[in-house]
Every structure is written in C-alpha cells, then in structure tokens.
Chains A and B, each alone.
Chain A
Amino acid sequence: MAGSLLAGSPVLILYASELGTAADLAKEVAHTLLRRRLNVKCMEANELDPFTSLPIYKTIIFLASTTGQGEIPMNGKDFWRKFLVKRIPRDWLKGVEFTTFGCGDSTYLKYNAAARKIHGRFLQLGATQMVARGEGDEQHSEGIDGSFFPWLEMLVDTLSMKYPLPDGVEPLPADHLLEPEHFVTLTSHRKVTYLVRDVMKDLHVQRPASRTCLIVRNKRVTAESHWQDVRHITISVPGSSVRWAPGDTVTLLPKNFPEDVEEFLVCQGLIDVADHPLGFMRIPNPAVESPLPGRLVQPLTLRTLLTHHLDLTSIPRRAFFGMIANFTDNKVHKERILEFTNPEYLDELYDYTTRPRRSILEVLQEFSSVKIPINRLIDVIPVMRARAFSVASSNTGHSPGSFDEKIDLEILVAIVKYKTIIKKTRQGVCTRWLASLKEGDPISVVFQHGTLVPHSTTELYNKPTVMIAPGTGVAPMRALLRERIFDKGHYLKNTLIFGCRGKDTDFFFQEEWVELVRRDFLRLNTAFSRDQPAKRYVQHVILEQAGHLWERIFKQGAVVYVCGSSGNMPIAVREALIKVFQEKGEWEKEVAVAYLAHMEKEGRFRQETW
C-alpha cells in the first residue's frame, strides 16, 4: 500500500463474524488506519495460525461478535481453539499490544462474551492493552456505531501518537480512494447467453455446504386482516442428504428483485453492458482479505452480480459517502456528500439514512450524478449477507433414506414491512424475497448447527423443559417439542408459554398445540396481548404460573428456553423469573439473581433472540 510509513510488522486486524457485521467493521478499521498511512493486514481469524504467526505482529486488533450461548463465531473457532491451548507460556504475547471490539446485544446474559473472552486471553498471555475495549450494543440508540466510533477514534488517536506522521505528511482524507482489494472488470464485448430462464430464480450462489432444495409451500399464517404477514415456509430436502437437530438454523442468501437491479443499472448508466461477461480480479497480498461469501455466481455479469452479491437496498454507512464523492462532477452533489462524511454532520447523516431506512439504491438515484466505475462496484456496495432462520421442524425420527425420500424443512418468517418518512414502504431484503417464493421455486440453503438446544444425548436435554417463546420465537421450540415427544419419548414435563397479538390473528400452530395439550404431552399457557383491554405478555404469564414454574425449574431442574424478538421481551422475562424465584424461594433479590446466573452457567437458561 502506497504511503505506508510504519516500519516493521503491520497492524493485524482479525475478526470473527457470524453474519458479517464484525467483518464490515474490521474492514472499516483497516481503511481508517490505511488513511493514517499505517501498514495494515486484515483477515478472518481462522485464516491465521496463531502459533506460527501471531507474535510476529506487535499490534493486534480483534473484532468479534458473539454467537450461540456466548461463543466465538464459526470463522474464528479454529483460531480460538488454538489460542486456548494450556501449554502456551504466559509471556508468549509479551510486547504485543492489542485491543478488542465486540458486536453484541445487551439483552443477552452473555453480552459480548466472545470479545470479552478474547480480551481476557490476550491479557492472560502477557499482551498489553493498547486501548480500552469497545463493546457495541445493538440496543444502543445508535446501534453498534454508538460505541464503535468512539472506540475507533481512540484507537486512531493512540496509534497516531505512537506512529506520528513526519512533518508535511497528512493523513489521507476521508474521500481519498484506497486501492480496491479486488474488483470486477468487463472481459468481452459480446453479451453472454444465460442458460437459465430466470437469472434471479434459477441461479444460486454456491456457498460452502449449500444445497438447492424446492419450495413446497409458502403459506401466510396470520389472519388477512392482521397487519403482520408471517409465512410458514416448507422446503423439501432430499432425504438421504441431511440431518438437523432442534435449535439448528438454515442460512438463506437473499436476492435483489429484477426491477431494483434494472433501476440501478439505469441510474448508473450501465444498462448497455449489463449482460456482458465480467472477470473477477484480486490484487496479490491485499491489506484486507475479504472474500465474497462462497463462489461468485456463474455466469458473472453486472446483472447477476447485482442480483446475487451486492446489497443494493442496505443502508449506506458513512464510509460509503467518502467513496462516492469521488465519482461525481456535480459540485452541489459533491459538497453535500462530503458533508455526510464529516463527523460534525452525524445527525444529518442519521436523519438522511438510518432514521428513514434509506437504501443505497435510493441515495444513488437521488445523487444521480454519481457514476460508480465498474471496477469499484464491489468495493463501494456491501456484499449481500446470508440470514439465519431457526428450523421449525424436526427430522431426527427419520432414518437415512433413499435420495428420493423428501424431508420437510420448515421455517417461520415474519415479513418485514414498515413505513418511515419516505413515501415508499420499506421492506426487508430477505423477507421480501422469501415472501415472493412460490411452490416449486428452487432455494439454496445451508444448514448451520445451533447451540440453543443441547444435544439429545446429554443430561440437560433430558430434563423437563420450560419454553418461553412469543411470536416467531416458537419456531425452534416446535422443532424441539416434536423431537422430544415423538422421537425421544418425553411425553411429560413440557411447558410452553406462548405469546402473540391475538388468539385469532397470529396464534401460530394453534391446532398442533391443542392436540398436544389434549394428549397431555404439553402444558400450554398463552398471552394474547390485544385480546383484552390491558396488554398481556409472556412475563405476566410467568408471574401467574409461579408455582408451576418453581416446581419445574427449581425442584425438577428444568431447562428454560427463551426465544423470540430481542429488546424488551428477554429482559422482562428474566425479571419475571427472578420475581418467581424470590417469591417461591423466599429469597432476597440477589439470591434470585444469582440463581438465574447459576442456571445460565449450568446451561439451564438458554436464549436465542433476534
């Protein structure tokens, strides 16, 4: 990288990211430091073998999100396991300076556990904290950025002091374009012939372990009169090929709609070359190793790239404006774009982008003079990320069968749709795409092992269960209940506390629960928030059922699951449980709190909220 001034080893930026946030932030750290003319190396944690490489770096920055029940995300697991080896001497990282940043959600008990553990281990191995840890919180009013920007500022200040620029050399400004790590370029003047009928429906990005299945049903399960559209989607999976367990998830990679792709191509003046073949280039030894997820779709054209790989409807970050300022000659536009990159205008940027949920496509349509060069597209527009959905069906009862045997994979999806000050209704990129799928449409899925439910051979699994699962949170619990009752013979001691708006509007799987209750396999308690004048939620049911829950949880050692939306629900549920413990155990509040923490440590309090 031109202009690097830091002699010796580069600043190492590692990340462990579940769905891409930590990876994006790592890239942002890398670019910020590159602008400070520092030498930088940024990569996925698993890409680095700590034993051969780690102490070579004298400055290490680690960004991690937390997954499952307080664990390190998959793409950092290999690194982490090695990092935990007991035999590593305690002065191994002596002389290494480091800091960490976590992306978390404070409604989890194990809030930012991964980053905290990583930080603790660095200290334990003798590394010195260069800058205090940062902890991003999804619940914060400015989201993760609320902590990320102050942390980044401190990091940059500290490094700038340590490695001051020589006189006369300035940091690169926010709108200075850094060399792209990889880019696409047109390779031919002849259009490609698509061998498929529909470049959106029939092409799929090959992700590691992805398989293409077929949609069997896509059924709305909320009343037509109800505002919320929730889909029960059934996907047929070839029987011999896969096994999943309750708590596992499938990740789905959303696709952009043809009309959005078309609009983008038109506004960028690229419509004439939309179907010409593209080549993907990578510069050797890049500062930021950020592979696109999976393999690039084939044939690769601007149309397929935009449909499958680039998130046109995501909300632009500050750095986006710094880049696009380079691609306009319109003075009025350029001036305004540069204002958005100025930290002093943070509120204006927020009002323009995050608050109304304005998309990159809409920004580009408004700043119509901006023309992003083809070789900058994958640099400027974020890569489409896969979304995870809890599996709502169980297949453990099936023995491996022939290929033509099909197993139903079911998911429950709340379609995201809302209004902001922007006239056009906002829609979630993934759920909008899912809602559009019809019977017989292909869909590419990747199964991912979840940690919500302990393995069925463990003692924990075989304890009684108390499931607190309002709304679509009931999906993984349906998988668990079906497996427990029909495959593992736990006919008793299953309690489900379900909540929704109304008995007749969004009571998911009502008939199934009624049947299980009739056969005495399930104890069901419900909270229909809008069916009576005073709102009633699952936490109210918990208080009403104090006696039963005390018996199950304290006396019988039940495992408690909390699934559903993040935010107030998990907090209110925890408070209600603490009240139950206080009342029934005749405990001081601290004892009740400690007991809940103890349950969590034992794995008897398990949460998955989103």
Chain B
Amino acid sequence: MTPHSTLLDTTSDLELATTINTNSKTLILCPPAVSSRPDLLEKSLSTFDKSSTDVQMLDRLSLKVVNLPISAYSSVLILTDPSSTAVSQELEPYVLQIIFNSMLPKATLRSQEEAFARGNSLQFLVAGFMVEKDVDGSIILIRPEFTGNASVPLKVRRKQRTDDLNEFNTTKTEPVAATTEAPVIKGVGFVLNDDDLEDDDDLIDEDTLLETGDLGTLIQPAECKPSAGKRRRACKDCTCGLREELEGEDKAKREAADKALAAAKEKVAAGVKLTVNDLAEVDFTVAGKVSSCGSCYLGDAFRCAGCPYIGLPAFKPGEQVTVDLDDDQL
C-alpha cells in the first residue's frame, strides 16, 4: 500500500548539486496525473535527498488509504499536475489538515504551481497556515511555531468549541481566529443578511457534516437474528431463506384452506351456486359444516391458525357469503 517504494526506485546516479534541506525530512505530494509521468517525478525528486524524502499520492490521502506521520517534515512540496492547473485549489480541508499536522513548526509548504494560493488563501488560513510571499513572488505556507501541541486531534471536539471554524470541518486550530465570522446579533433570532443565501459559498458544505462531523449517537436497530419472545420476520433483502420459509408457510396454509373449503363445498353441494361472474358461493349456514370454534364468521382477526376460512371475508351467521374463487396465476 505504500506507493513510494516503487516510485522512489530511481537510479542512483542522481546529481545532488541542488539538494535542499539535507538534514531534515521532505514530503513530496503528487497529484494522480504525475504518477503517469515518471519523468516529471524523477526530475523533481532529483533535487532532493532520497534518504530523507517521502513521496505520497494526493488521491491516496484524500481516499484515506494512507495517513501521514505527525510533525515529521520540515518542507512539503506539491508537484504540479501536468493535465490540470488547479490542484492546490482542490485540496480538501481534510487533506490540508493532515498535511498541516505532518509538518514541523516553521516547516514550509510550497507548490510547483504558479498560481498556488494566490487567489483564495482562506482555506489555508483556516487550516492553520501562515501565508507568506517568497522572494520570487510565489506563495509559501508556513506552519506557525505557536500552535503548541504537536498533534492536533482530527475529531471535532464539541465541548471545547468556542469560536470554531467548522464550516471547513478542520480541527480546532488556534492561529486563525474568526477570520470568516462577521459580527452577528446573538439572542433568539439570528439576523440574516440578504446576501447570506445568495450563493453556495455562504453555506457550509453539507458533505463535511457526514465526513468529519459529529453525528451523535444512534439507537442500533435490532439485527436480523431471532430474539427471545419475538418472532422472526424476513428482511426486505432477506438472504437467509426466512422469506422463502414464511412465504412457503403462507402458501401451504392457503392451499390447505382451499382444500378444506373445497371439501366443505362438496358436502354442501346443494348450497353451491355458480354466478355469472364465475363466483362460487358457500353456504355457511348448513349445520355442522362451518366451524368448531364458533368465531370463524367474525373474520381473520378472530380465526385460529388452520381455519379453512382464513383469508376470506367475515360473514354473518346465517348469511350467504360470496367468495371469489377466481385465482390469478401469479
């Protein structure tokens, strides 16, 4: 699962003339497209000391397939995606946060991309970086020294929330206090400005609620297994065979009832008349043919298991009931 073992397998005749930061560790982050351009990667790598350089693929970070060590690197470089120009703009808050956490205090984050962090630097500020300009005008992001704690927990801690900036679902990071918070009127009502709903930038990204937010606790529904005192029912996507079992049960009951009904019908043949609608009528008033429990006529709610009248409408004693015996083949 570690891609750099192969990616770093470069030939040993590299010239280390322009090696940077040889005494500290460097992290190189590759957009997915770079992996298909080994030449680009090698060229970039050639300026670094192989023994102190780690390489990670950005997409693996965002997929959470790999994680980064905490407070390990003194410099981080994002390679340019040759097919697209805006890789750094698309760094997710989550990825930015683990990059931030992997950096030592005062460590720098740069990108090969020219426009890196030029436009909207808010996401970087929110992640805790200081944004500075290098001599050539390119932007360098620096992890401030004063963040103190070496590891920043990734889980949002609800209780400690004060001003926090969870719209980006970053962890709590002190350095950028309330850069996005406009003054608000507290109290019962919250005064909404006209422009608050104008575009999606004014709203938090709802997906972050699912990905990194606190979802509270959940009442676990009962699982698909028998529990004492409670009969089993088949799940809609039942694969254990219970559905077939229950359906078979119902079918057998229905067939038994049909048989019993047919037998009863034969016995009271005098009372059976076929109507024009091909309906069979069963006369339940014939003595001795109806029921032993005396409540069949009340309907299914009162019939016992195995009642021949199961599934038929209720009827009044002494009244003729019409039974639709037309069976659709299903």
A residues near B, CB below 8 A? Answer: 50-52, 55-56, 70, 80-82, 84-92, 107, 110, 113, 116-117, 119-121, 123-124, 126, 129, 131-143, 146-147, 150-151, 154, 227, 332, 336, 340, 347, 350, 352, 355-356, 358, 362-363, 365-368, 417-425, 566-568, 571, 588, 590-591, 594-595, 597-598, 601
Which listed residue, A110, A136, A591, touches B65 by the CB 8 Å rule?
Answer: A591
Residues of A within 8 A of B222 (CB): 140, 146, 150
Residues of A within 8 A of B250 (CB): 355-356, 420-421
Residues of A within 8 A of B327 (CB): 425
Q: Contact between B217 and A132 (Cβ–Cβ < 8 Å)?
A: yes
- Decide if B43 is an interface residue (CB 8 Å cutoff): no
Bound CA span A312–B66, Å:
56
Residues of A within 8 A of B323 (CB): 423
Q: Contact between B254 and A140 (Cβ–Cβ < 8 Å)?
A: no
CB distance from B299 to the nearest CB of A (A): 3
Of B69-77, B178-186, B264-272, which stretch is located at the interface?
A: B178-186
**A81-B197, A423-B311 given as contacts; is B190 within 8 A of A332 (CB)?**
no
Which listed residue, A116, A137, A422, A425, touches B221 by the CB 8 Å rule?
Answer: A137
Q: Contact between A116 and B210 (Cβ–Cβ < 8 Å)?
A: yes
Bound CA span A598–B95, Å:
14
Residues of B within 8 A of A135 (CB): 218-219, 221
Residues of B within 8 A of A227 (CB): 329-330
Bound CA span A133–B209, Å:
15
Bound CA span A69–B179, Å:
32
**A117-B206, A140-B235 given as contacts; is B214 within 8 A of A133 (CB)?**
no
Which listed residue, B62, B221, B232, B301, touches A598 by the CB 8 Å rule?
Answer: B62
Q: Contact between B1 and A138 (Cβ–Cβ < 8 Å)?
A: no
In the complex, residue of chain B having the shortest beta-carbon distance to the beta carbon of A144: B221
Contact residues of B: prevailing secondary structure: loop
Question: Interface digits, B195-235 against A, CB 8 Å rule (1 contact, 0 not)?
Answer: 01100001110110110011111110110100000111111
Q: Could you show 22 A-B contacts with beta carbons less than 8 Å apart?
A: A56-B188, A82-B192, A85-B204, A87-B184, A89-B181, A90-B162, A91-B186, A92-B186, A92-B190, A120-B210, A120-B213, A124-B213, A133-B215, A135-B218, A139-B237, A141-B224, A142-B233, A146-B222, A352-B301, A419-B330, A421-B250, A421-B254
Bound CA span A423–B324, Å:
8
Bound CA span A84–B310, Å:
54
Bound CA span A51–B188, Å:
8
In the complex, residue of chain B having the shortest beta-carbon distance to the beta carbon of A154: B219
Residues of A within 8 A of B254 (CB): 419, 421, 423
| Tally of contacts, chain A with chain B, CB under 8 A | 208
**A52-B189, A120-B214, A124-B209 given as contacts; is B237 within 8 A of A571 (CB)?**
yes
Of B128-136, B139-147, B163-171, which stretch is located at the interface?
A: B163-171
Which listed residue, A133, A147, A425, A594, touches B63 by the CB 8 Å rule?
Answer: A594
Bound CA span A358–B310, Å:
12
CB distance from A148 to the nearest CB of B (A): 9
- Decide if B253 is an interface residue (CB 8 Å cutoff): yes
CB distance from B166 to the nearest CB of A (A): 6
Q: Contact between A352 and B314 (Cβ–Cβ < 8 Å)?
A: no
Q: Contact between B311 and A87 (Cβ–Cβ < 8 Å)?
A: no
Bound CA span A548–B266, Å:
64
Q: Contact between A85 and B189 (Cβ–Cβ < 8 Å)?
A: no
Bound CA span A133–B238, Å:
25
Which listed residue, B65, B213, B313, touches A594 by the CB 8 Å rule?
Answer: B65
Which listed residue, B221, B235, B236, B237, touches A150 by the CB 8 Å rule?
Answer: B221
Find the residue from A50, A81, A588 having the highest chain B CB count within 10 A.
Answer: A81
In the complex, residue of chain A having the shortest beta-carbon distance to the beta carbon of B161: A90
